[in-house]
Chains A and B, each alone.
Chain A
Amino acid sequence: MSKTSKHAPKIICISSGKGGVGKTSFSVNVATALAQSGKKVLLIDGDLGLANVDVVLGINVRHTMRETIEEGRELASCLVEITPGFQVLPASSGVPEMASLSYEEQAFLTSSLEEIIDRFDYVLVDTAAGIGESVLWFNTWSQVNIVILTPDPTSLTDAYALIKVLATRHGKKHFHLLINSVKSKKEGKEVFDNMRTVLERFLQIRPLALGAMPQDAQVSQAIRQQKPFLLAAPESRASQEIMAVAQRILAL
């Protein structure tokens, strides 16, 4: 099915290099914010072997992409509606085979995904950490690449390494950076400016700033409650920033 022949959704990949920097929490909340703006949003759990979008959302998943690949189940029947306009395509957890799909499985998953995405305005992919094949493939499949990083040296290095691989081996040149867990706006700006300098100097890439998410106790509280913080604490600083990020995404 050709994406150009029908309504073409915007496909956005959310990756980080390092794990534990807040990819899933960001993905879930930005998807919620986009849906609140009246958009039809699909969030794909791209961590195929260690999924946790369902955990962050506190939903019980009956069917996952694993059944589509292994049993031929219709992908549409795996979709779970979270809020009006916001649906999730869950993956399985603790299934190493799903983390390294064969060519036929990947090709089959691609064609199955392309059959269902036309009904959405935005398709977000919350990828696994690292630079594994599925991460690189989801990034090449997407039109917009968001890389999340924190001010930690390990996160900086891994985010840079991910961008370097995507740029050098997969021809990606446009990246949006989201700095997470910053103590202040100033810190967020410093991290972004520094990363931009390195990317421009060594890779000739000029990234765009998507935002800086503040450290916010209400975020961890919402995660423990298994709810998007946008719904659990709509007045929090993190919620305000996520709404601003959603507006920037809508303007892309």
Chain B
Amino acid sequence: MNKRLAADSLAPYLELEEQARRYPLHSLHLQGGSDHSPLGLLLVADGTSGRELEQALAALDLGSRHFGRHQPGSDPAREESEALPDAAWLQRQLHVELDRVTRTRLPCALLLLAPAGASRRSERSLALAALALAPCLHQVDLLARWRKDLLALVLPGTNLGKARKRAAEIRAHLRPSATRPGPAVGIAVCHAYESIAPGQLLALAEEALGRAGKDGAEAICHAAPPARPEDSCQVTVEERAQLFSFLQKEACL
């Protein structure tokens, strides 16, 4: 299955999964083949025990196909590492979310996190960071791996102010100890009036992350498209003076 076909065939599942978020359900991605191409989506009611789920899966006779969410196992980090969606999945999801920005006129933020301990970054440390991040995640957030050593967090409906707040919470949560820094965070936000492709948004977030890394391991930086510098909206003294100028003329008369 080529990548284009994989993305197209995933779309109905993503749509269904999106709808399922409104209900107390867990979704499990059924994948197959060497390229982990999508085969289906299982929706499981909250409260279903592991044993019940195993029995149901056995009854479905799905053979060696496996699931995007964790199954009972011994190493949570390894399970999380396997369950953590990859870059291709992230780009497909970003495509869906950026399309939604145009339709709903609500912004979408992308956070790139570089978990602390750069020199020792590995798949396992990334998976552990993802596990540690779990309590900070909201229901609509999308977490994935980006490149080999970064976590990407898509925050639908989130503007820059909220994204900075979430980044600060996450950074504090992932701080290994009081004396060691939390991860650097790069933020990029897509607004309804901007046409940004997923790759562009990722590039902006990487640029911000690069600056955050230089500023200090704990920094949070934001990058915006060049056409729209992030101006302050504070009404300046000059603007105010001009606004009131006709009132002063009136008073003189």
Contacts and interface: CB of A to CB of B under 8 A. Distances in A.
A160 B243 contact: yes
Nearest to A162: B233
A170 interface: yes
B239 A198 contact: yes
Nearest to A111: B104
B231 A190 contact: no
Residues of A contacting B: mostly: helix
A195 interface: yes
Interface string A93-104: 000000000111
B235 A161 contact: yes
Nearest to A151: B247
B242 interface: yes
Interface string B90-107: 000000000010011110
Nearest to A172: B193
B85 to A, nearest CB: 20
A165 B233 contact: yes
B157 A198 contact: no
A157 B233 contact: no
A201 interface: yes
B36 to A, nearest CB: 29
State which size class the interface on B falls in: 20 to 34
Contacts of A202: 236, 238-239, 242
Given A107-B157, A156-B244, A170-B191, A137 B106 contact: yes
Given A103-B157, A106-B106, A161-B233, A153 B192 contact: no
A73 to B, nearest CB: 15
Contacts of A110: 103-106
Given A107-B104, A137-B106, A194 B245 contact: yes
B22 interface: yes
Contact of B242 (A106, A165, A197): A197
Nearest to A156: B243
Nearest to B247: A153
Contacts of B192: 140, 170
A94 B238 CA distance: 38
Contacts of B103: 110
A12 to B, nearest CB: 15
B243 A198 contact: yes
A169 interface: yes
B3 interface: no
A206 B140 CA distance: 40
Contact of B244 (A153, A170, A172): A153
A164 B235 contact: yes
A168 B234 CA distance: 11
B152 to A, nearest CB: 18
Interface of B: 21-22, 100, 103-106, 139-140, 156-159, 191-194, 228, 231, 233, 235-236, 238-240, 242-247, 250
4 shortest A-B CB distances, which residue pairs? A103-B157, A171-B193, A194-B246, A165-B233
